[in-house]
Structure 1
Amino acid sequence: MPEFAVLFAALAVLLGLARLAGRLTAALGQPAVLGEILCGVALAPAGRVLPAPVESALSAIAQLGLVLFLFAAGAHLAPAMTATRLKAAVVPALGALLVPLALGAALAVWLARRHAPAGPGPFVVFVAAAMAVTALPVLARILAERGLLDDIAGQRALSAAAVTDVAAWTLLAIAAASLHGRSMTAPLAAMAAMTALPVLSRSRFRRWIARQSRSSATAVLVALACAAAAVTAAAGLHPAIGAFFAGAALGHAVPAIDPAGLVTPAGALLVPLYFVLVGRAVELGGLDAALAVETAAIVVVAVAGKGGGAYLGARLAGVSPRPAGVFAALMNTRGVTELVFVSIGLGLGVIDSAFYTAMVVMALVTTAMTGPLLTRLTQQREEV
């Protein structure tokens, strides 16, 4: 059978299975991405039965979905980065950032002897950053579903998540650059130059793109996302890093055209394939007793660091206990952002496949916790 026929058949099967699995988990009250990951895990024992060129093409298509997804995530982040919101959220955000960074770094020192193929330095930076991640797109969706987007608690959580995610992605960029012994100057200068034109000439760019049709504006944004990915890939970083920061810059420069809303449908079409491939990389066969203990420790540190740090930060900011608990539950949401984060770490060679498996388990556990925790806290508030 011609390779193109195999490729399109594989796309049809994998995208169809991903959608079905996502619908099943959504019906159970969990995020669709949980089903997409588990779909990949279920397919993993079959191994790589497709020809190598087809596997490569599937990976490239999935990477495009990831680039568009993270561009939209960065654009979603931009509205939360206003001076007023950041000022109100700075103390809670510091708690949700510094505590997981510190606990993650301490955990990484213990785990580095078994899981740091590129050396302990990049591994410690990566793990600390991974523990600080909050899934901003999932968080925004949860807040919208529960009518909390305009609530002070929801705005506090979005702003704090924006701060922690920018810090985490910056640390990831530093870890990636250190692998090649490179300075961050060239990659950061490239990203700044690429986004400077629409940001510095904001009004002109806004007027120009406002005159374009919806399809033309989408094409421009997709082209900018791909250009950002190409720049960071050429600089030795992961392409998704450039897409994320470009989305944040453009979302802040031209919020009226809603960059996230224009690009999200294109990313949503392809990104389930990426998460199926994420699941396929999970090696449950390597889950021995030692890794099981390490996985349990990772989950405990992740919840204690992010949830505990967020709660502490909120309390120090004067938030009462129950709203502080809601804030902590929201900030503990790892979701798809964590899955993307650890898959990039695996691709860069910062972590090994065993640690990757443990982190995927942690991301799924913390994501599954969010809904029940919020429901419980909300019920307690209503009872009072």
Structure 2
Amino acid sequence: MPELAVLFAALAVLLGLARLAGRAMARLGQPAVLGEILCGVALAPAGQVLPAPVESTLTSIAQLGLVLFLFTAGARLAPSMTAAHLKAAVIPALGALLVPLAMGAVLAGWLARRHAPAGTGPFVVFAAAAVAVTALPVLARILAERGLLDDVAGRRALSAAAVTDVAAWALLAIAAASLHGWSSTSSLPAVAALAVLPVLARARIGRWVARLSPPSATVVLVAAACAAAAATDAAGLHPAIGAFFAGAVLGHAVPVIEPAALVAPAGSLLAPLYFVLVGRTVDLGGFDVALAAETATIVAVAVAGKYGGAYLGARLAGVPPHPAGVFAALMNTRGVTELVFVSIGLGLGVIDSAFYTAMVVMALVTTAMTGPLLTRLSRQREGV
């Protein structure tokens, strides 16, 4: 069979399976991404059954889906990054960021001897940031489903998640740059200029893009996402980093056209393919007793650091106990952001496949526990 026919057939099968698995998980009250990841895990034992060129093309298409997905995630951050929202969320956000960062760094120092192929320094920075991540896209979806998107608690959680995620992505960029002995930082001024330029010309860009038809505006935004991805990739970082920050910048620069809404359909179509391929890279065959113990420790530290730090920060900000508990449960959601984060770390060579598997398990556990935990807190408030 011609390779092009194999490629299209593989796309049809993988996207179809991803959709079915996502819907099945959604019916259980869980995010669809959990089903997409588990679909990939189920396919992993089959190994590489497709020709190498087809596998390579699928990976490239999945990477495009990742770039568009993270551009959308960055654009969705913009409304939560206003001065008023950040002022109300700064103390809770610091608790949700600094405590898991510190606990993650201590944990990484212990794990580095087994799982740091590129050295202890980049591994510790990466692992600490990975523990501190909150999944903003999944968080927004959970808030919308529970009618909390416009609630004070919902806005607080979104703003705090924006702060923690921007900090985590910045740390990922630092870890990536350090892999090259900081030689790649010679290219970082160009990347910074690419990110700052839309801000400096905000009014002009806003007026120009606002005059475009939705299809034309979509093309401009997708081109911007790809250009930013190419810039950070050329700088020795990961293309997804550029896409994320470009989305955050353009979300502020041209809010009138809602960049996230225009680009989201393309990202939603291709991103499931990426998460299926992420699941295929999970090596459950290497899950020995030592890795199982490390995974349990990672999950415990991640939950204690994120939930405890977020709760402490909210209480210090004067939030009552119950809303502080809801805030902490929401901030503990890792979801797709964590999965993307650790897959980038694996691709950069900062972590090994065993640590990657453990972090995927942690992401799945912390995401799956969010819904039941929120339901339990809701029943406690109602006295059920």
Band of TM-score, shorter chain:
over 0.9
Aligned amino acid, residue 121 of structure 1: G
The residue aligned with 1:7 is: 7
The residue aligned with 2:316 is: 316
The residue aligned with 1:139 is: 139
Query: Is the partner of 1:30 in helix, strand or coil?
Result: coil
1:189 and 1:148 mapped to 2: Cα distance? 40
Question: 1:187 deviation in Å?
Answer: 4.5
The residue aligned with 1:347 is: 347
1:282 and 1:90 mapped to 2: Cα distance? 36
CA contact (8 A) 2:191 2:235 kept: no
1:186 and 1:244 mapped to 2: Cα distance? 21
CA contact (8 A) 2:134 2:331 kept: yes
1:197 and 1:117 mapped to 2: Cα distance? 36
The residue aligned with 2:95 is: 95
What percentage of residue pairs aligned between the two structures are identical?
Answer: 83
Q: Structure 2: where are the runs of 5+ without partners?
A: none
Q: How does 1:191-210 map to 2 (within 5 A)?
A: 191-210=191-210
1:229 and 1:186 mapped to 2: Cα distance? 17
What does the per-residue CA deviation read over 1:250-300, in whole Å, with 9 as the maximum and x for residues that have no partner? 001111110111111000000000000000000000000000000000000
CA contact (8 A) 1:174 1:184 kept: no
What does the per-residue CA deviation read over 1:111-154, in whole Å, with 9 as the maximum and x for residues that have no partner? 11111111111000000000010000111111111111111111
CA contact (8 A) 1:71 1:225 kept: yes
What does the per-residue CA deviation read over 1:214-243, in whole Å, with 9 as the maximum and x for residues that have no partner? 111000000000000000000000000000
Aligned amino acid, residue 336 of structure 2: V
CA RMSD between the two structures: 1.0
The residue aligned with 2:288 is: 288
Query: Is the partner of 1:110 in helix, strand or coil?
Result: helix
Query: Is the partner of 2:369 in helix, strand or coil?
Result: helix
Q: How does 1:132-281 map to 2 (within 5 A)?
A: 132-182=132-182, 185-281=185-281
CA contact (8 A) 1:191 1:246 kept: no
Moved more, 203-212 or 9-18: 203-212
1:281 and 1:372 mapped to 2: Cα distance? 28
Q: 1:55 to 1:29 in 2, by over 3 A?
A: same
Q: 1:199 to 1:298 in 2, by over 3 A?
A: same
1:58 and 1:185 mapped to 2: Cα distance? 31
The residue aligned with 2:33 is: 33
Aligned amino acid, residue 380 of structure 1: Q
CA contact (8 A) 1:135 1:334 kept: yes
Aligned amino acid, residue 366 of structure 1: T
Aligned amino acid, residue 303 of structure 2: V
Q: 1:331 to 1:183 in 2, by over 3 A?
A: farther
1:373 and 1:187 mapped to 2: Cα distance? 44
What does the per-residue CA deviation read over 1:167-219, in whole Å, with 9 as the maximum and x for residues that have no partner? 00000000000001125744442223223333212121111111111111000
The residue aligned with 1:44 is: 44
2:370 and 2:184 mapped to 1: Cα distance? 35
1:206 and 1:85 mapped to 2: Cα distance? 22
The residue aligned with 1:74 is: 74
What does the per-residue CA deviation read over 1:55-87, in whole Å, with 9 as the maximum and x for residues that have no partner? 110000000000000000000001101111111
2:208 and 2:317 mapped to 1: Cα distance? 42
CA contact (8 A) 2:335 2:363 kept: yes
1:119 and 1:191 mapped to 2: Cα distance? 25
1:165 and 1:92 mapped to 2: Cα distance? 14
Q: 1:337 to 1:13 in 2, by over 3 A?
A: same
The residue aligned with 1:125 is: 125
Query: Is the partner of 1:282 in helix, strand or coil?
Result: coil
2:23 and 2:186 mapped to 1: Cα distance? 43
2:318 and 2:301 mapped to 1: Cα distance? 25
Query: Is the partner of 1:105 in helix, strand or coil?
Result: helix
CA contact (8 A) 2:95 2:314 kept: yes
1:241 and 1:187 mapped to 2: Cα distance? 14
1:383 and 1:186 mapped to 2: Cα distance? 59
CA contact (8 A) 2:188 2:235 kept: no
1:200 and 1:360 mapped to 2: Cα distance? 39
2:138 and 2:188 mapped to 1: Cα distance? 27
Aligned amino acid, residue 365 of structure 2: V
Aligned amino acid, residue 350 of structure 1: V
Does residue 24 of structure 1 match 2:24?
yes
CA contact (8 A) 1:40 1:279 kept: yes
Q: How does 1:326-341 map to 2 (within 5 A)?
A: 326-341=326-341
Aligned amino acid, residue 8 of structure 2: F
CA contact (8 A) 1:295 1:362 kept: yes
Query: Is the partner of 2:148 in helix, strand or coil?
Result: coil
CA contact (8 A) 1:81 1:159 kept: yes
